[in-house]
Structure 1
Amino acid sequence: MDKSKLIGLLHEMAVFVEVIEQGGFAKAAKVLGCAPSSVSRTIHRLEASLNEKLIERSTRHMALTPVGKKVHMHCLEMLGSAKNAVFAAQSEQEDICGSLRVAAPKALSRQVLMPIVLDFAEAYPNVDLHFKVADHFIDPMSDEVDVLIQITNSPKENLVATSLGQCRLILCASPAYVERIGMPSHPDKLSEHNCLCLGENPRDKIWSFSSNRHSTTVDVKGSFAVNHSEIRREAVLRGLGVSVFPEFAVQSYIDNGTLVPLLADWHVSGNYQGKIIAQYVQSKYIPRQLRAFVDYVKSGLDNNRHLKLEPIKAFSMMD
């Protein structure tokens, strides 16, 4: 195939990758901003040009053919090279500009990252910043996100990971609740307390604790469950019960005495604890706006004494 015909296939190949990543024509069309029929015609043109069936599809299912799997792999490499070309150009720009797409969990975004991100947007007006708030994992390699910020001790492999800060979980209650019900002396005593959970799945009612060489799990019960830390915090402030929170959600209330930490000698295990980590795709060329953003967030979290982490060198899970 000559170069002119090959150039004409580049768009079809990019649409093909999007269809596979999104898991369907309609979802790909929504991302691409066109009609599903347009996406379908594009895939038909690609298959006709290659004289091969790439996707087996029915009304409910879609799967790559053996040839489709090979073509998809090479198309991914093509898009990766295109992205590296853009990164190479952006890394040489003196001014910090260009686009940047960032994803982060809801509670961390609302209660910690929001002022830092807005300050960054003001400080770098030439950066087109798209900030996506979502609690599910978003893969920078497939979801068109440049930087993922998450709270975890297990960074995603094959991505660069830079530690920005750290977060631990704290069990707490209001002083009025403690005066009325009492202070638990051991995790097992939580069976006597009204424990407010996330309520997202049955595991949310199993709280795990460790202290020195001892560990225990407690099946807790409570009259109220909500998967929103600010609403659950308000319930605890009103004295409805005890609950577990990320440190950033309650530390200021503990500092002013409106909340009291419980079982301070015990470490609480669960989601939303660990290192606050920024992850992005491994590349020889890192865009200046990406570097600037990660550095800016790191500096902002360093100024938060409760989330501060000792500076460490960015590392690659590929090393």
Structure 2
Amino acid sequence: MDINKLIPLLSEMAIFVKVVESGSLSQAAQMIGVSPSSISRSIARLELAIEEKLLERTTRKMRLTPTGEQVFIQCRDMLASAKMAVSAAQSNETDITGSLRIAAPKALSRQVLMPMVMDFLKLYPKVSFHFKVADHIIDPIGDEVDLVIRITDSPIEGLVAKKLGNCKQLLCATPAYLVEHGAPEHPNELKDHNCIVLGEVTKDRQWKFQHEKQVCEINVQGTFTVNHSEIRREAVLQGIGIALFPDFSVANEINSKQLVQLLPEWRTLGNYQGGIIAQYPQSKFIPSQLKAFVNYLEKALQNH
């Protein structure tokens, strides 16, 4: 195909990739910010230009034709090369500018990252920042974010992983609660206490602890369930019961003696703890704003 005829199709190819990756015309339209009919016309123009059917569509399903599968691979590679070209330009900028899209868990974002993001924006006012807060696992490529921050000991394979800090779970209660109900001296004694859990999955009621080589798993019970760390913290401060928290969520309350850490010699096992990991796609060229933000976070979290 003549290059002059190919150039107008580049945007259609990029849209085609987005349709396939998102799984539907409407989803792609929402992500790009246009109408589904506009997306449909773009696909039609691409099919007309190459004189091949790319997608088989019904009211409920969409699948690639054999030709569509081959075209998708090439278009996806083309789009990846375009992104690399932009990254190459941005990676050499001495003046930090450009857009930055990050995703992070809710509690970590609200209680730790948000002040750091505000300070970063003051330091680099030319950076455009998009902050996506979500507790589910985010795919940087599929969800179109530049950086994912997670609390985990199992980083996503295939991505660059940089450890920024650590987070551990602490078991806490108020002094008043402990005066009334007694302090547990062993994880097994938690069965006799009102334990506040997340309640998102059944395993949230299974608290697991380790002390040296001894591992203890307890099925706890309680009268209050909430999947929000700040609300859970408020319930504990009101003397309702005992709960597990990420250390950053209760550091001030422990220091001020509003809360007491229980069973400090036991380490909790499971989710919502581990390394604070920053992950992003591998590339020879990392945008300068991304490098600056990761470096900034690393220093800020070390001093937190």
Residues 1-319 of structure 1 mapped to structure 2, 5 A cutoff: 1-304=1-304
Q: Aligned partner of 1:50: which letter?
A: I
Shift of 1:66: 2.8
Match of 1:172, SS state, is strand
1:239-273 per-position Cα deviation (integer Å, ceiling 9, x unaligned): 10111110100111111111111111111112220
Shift of 1:38: 0.9
Q: Aligned partner of 2:214: which letter?
A: H
1:56-108 per-position Cα deviation (integer Å, ceiling 9, x unaligned): 22111222233322222222111111011111111122211111111111100
Q: Percent identity?
A: 57
Indicate the larger mover: 65-74 or 232-241.
65-74
Q: So what's the TM-score if we normalise by structure 2?
A: 0.97
Shift of 1:288: 1.0
Q: Distance in 2 between matches of 1:68 and 1:212?
A: 56
Q: Distance in 1 between matches of 2:65 and 2:203?
A: 39
Q: Distance in 2 between matches of 1:168 and 1:200?
A: 19
Q: What root-mean-square deviation, in Å, do the aligned CA atoms of Structure 1 and Structure 2 show?
A: 1.1
Give the unaligned 5+ runs of structure 2. none
Q: So what's the TM-score if we normalise by structure 1?
A: 0.93
Q: Distance in 1 between matches of 2:63 and 2:266?
A: 49
Indicate the larger mover: 226-235 or 195-204.
195-204
Q: Distance in 2 between matches of 1:35 and 1:146?
A: 25
Question: Residue 315 of structure 1 corresponds to which residue in structure 2?
Answer: none
1:124-156 per-position Cα deviation (integer Å, ceiling 9, x unaligned): 001111111111121112221111111111111
1:200-241 per-position Cα deviation (integer Å, ceiling 9, x unaligned): 111111111111111121111110101100000000011101
Structure 1 stretches of 4+ with a deviation exceeding 4 A read none
Q: Distance in 2 between matches of 1:189 and 1:57?
A: 59
Task: Report how many aligned residue pairs link the two structures.
Answer: 304
Q: Distance in 2 between matches of 1:64 and 1:236?
A: 53
Match of 1:85, SS state, is helix
Give the unaligned 5+ runs of structure 1. 305-319
Q: Aligned partner of 1:52: which letter?
A: E
